[in-house]
Amino acid sequence: MTRIVFIVLVVALIASSISDATANCHLFGQDDGMPSVPKAGEPSRPASVGSKPSENRPDKQGISSFSEIDVFTMKSEGYPRFRIPAVIATTKGTLLAFCEGRTGGDSGDIDLVCKRSTDGGKTWGDLQVVWNDGKNTCGNPAPVVDRDTGKVWLFMTWNLGSDDEKAIMEGTSKDVRHVYVTSSVDDGKTWAVPEKLNDVRQEKWRWYATGPGNGIQLIAGKHQGSLVIPCNHSDHSGLGHPYRSHVVYSDDHGTTWKIGGIEEDRTNESAVVELVGERILHTMRSYHGKNCRAMAVSQDGGESWGKVYLDEALDTPVCQASVLRYSWPADKESDGKSRLLFCSPAGKARDHLTVWISHDEGQSWPLRKEIYQGGSGYSSLVLLPNRNVGVFFEKDGSKSLTFATVSLGWLEGQGVESEPKDR
């Protein structure tokens, strides 16, 4: 009798082990279409793509990992093409996705358009035209949310549709590029008439671009509450390369706006993020010919900048990029770990859209995760109310502007370790 009981128990244990192994194969295998766990040094691939949202897929820890939806699609809604994405989350949790609705290329008839999402980016409302000035160019969205008032500010640029960047920079255009700002007090449902800002440009500046991408509001120190907008311009005073980055800021909740620190030459489209110690990191499109990102740090709220350095860990093409503060060292819900996220195409071409992660305030970027392997360009990052991350980016030559939702577990748990590089 004892021997029979023992045999039954052994058979039961073997059956249980087979069942567990089968379940694990179903969760992490490829037979059911789920992505396999990537090998070390091998970039992982995102989930399915398309105009409808793909299913959220759990990672090892059971956290929703990756989904995406096309927000703007080429040759739809009255526009042949859409470019230049920017996205923010309002104080009510509404997502506002901005871009340029284009009839052609970088010049001509361009409108500033927007869509809203009230469910964290799963679905999006109808296209809304924020600014249409006939045949002229209205673009370069750079939004920022004032968390104290709930007001959304949107910086934009304007130029005559008959003028292009080359003519403006050469001084042969009919006019230069100008900066405008609009705002919304109803969560992006309606927008004020755009106001021209004459005090945020200098006499010898011709080309000008706000963002593109989001601004920030500082949360610490004596500059707490200040709104900071990344910008760039061309300086034709004859000193060095004409392209330079700068910022515009307001310390009175948007009543007035001022020019902040101006960067060294060979810097261009940029993004900003607040660092520990009342500092700001300025990450800039670089024309130094080194295939990496130009960086500088401000100690005074963006009024001035330290020396520009090239961060070779961020091996990026000459392209716009975005940066986001995910968590602070004191955040209990994030294990007390600092996290900065940086998003850009990786390598020398505009493809392999990647998110890099820093745990030491941008001193190093030990993790990187590929978002999309194919053609990809400009991008904008946003922290969602559920603490997932939204990545709004140009996909496949801007055939679509796509919103991907990724979890921190997906970014960090399966991220590929970056090879350390000296600056």
Convert the pLDDT of each residue in 154-188 to its tens digit.
Answer: 999 999 999 999 999 999 999 999 999 999 999 99
Q: Which two tokens stand for residue 420?
A: 């350390």
**Is residue 155 a part of any domain in this protein?**
yes
Phi and psi (nearest 5°) for 228? -125, 125
Q: Domain limits at 348?
A: 64-417
For residue 378, which amino acid is it?
Answer: Y
CA distance 166 to 107: 10
Whether 11 has a pLDDT exceeding 80, the answer reads no
> Whose structure tokens read 């007390």?
336
Residue 14 placed within a domain: no
CATH, residue 215: 2.120.10.10
Tell me how many domains the chain contains. Answer: 1
Alpha-carbon distance of 314 to 138, in angstroms, equals 31
Instruction: For residues 102 and 138, give the distance between their C-alpha atoms in angstroms, rounded to a whole number.
Output: 10
Cβ count near 42 (within 10 Å): 11
* Block residue for tokens 């004409």: 242
Q: How many residues does the chain have?
A: 423
Side-chain-side CA neighbours of 141 within 13 Å: the count stands at 31
Amino acid at 414: Q
10-11-17 Cα angle (round to 5): 90
Once rounded to an integer, what is the mean pLDDT over residues 143-153?
98
Q: Which helix (H) or strand (E) holds 115?
A: strand 110-117
Tokens of 347: 């390598």
Q: Residue 370 forms beta bridges with which residues? A: 354
Over residues 103-128, the mean pLDDT reads 97
Q: What is the β-pairing status of strands 128-131 and 110-117?
A: antiparallel
- The pTM of the full predicted model, rounded to 2 decimals, is 0.84
Structure tokens at 104: 């052609």
Tell me whether residue 133 is in a domain. yes
Residue 114 lies inside a defined structural domain of this protein: yes
* Residue ranges in 134-173 assigned as alpha helix (H): 165-170
In a domain, 230, yes or no: yes
3-state SS, 224-261, equals CCCEEEEEEEEECCCCCCCEEEEEEEECCCCCCCEEEE
Amino acid at 244: R
113-121: average pLDDT: 98
Residues 226-273 pLDDT 10s? 999 999 999 998 888 999 999 999 999 999 999 999 999 999 999 999
- Residue 136 inside a domain? The answer is yes
343-394 pLDDT, tens digit each: 999 999 999 999 999 999 999 999 999 999 999 999 999 999 999 999 999 9
- In-domain check, residue 271: yes
Query: What pLDDT, on a 0 to 100 scale, did the predictor assign at position 414?
Result: 55
Answer whether residue 263 is part of any domain: yes
CA 395 – CA 392 distance, rounded (Å): 9
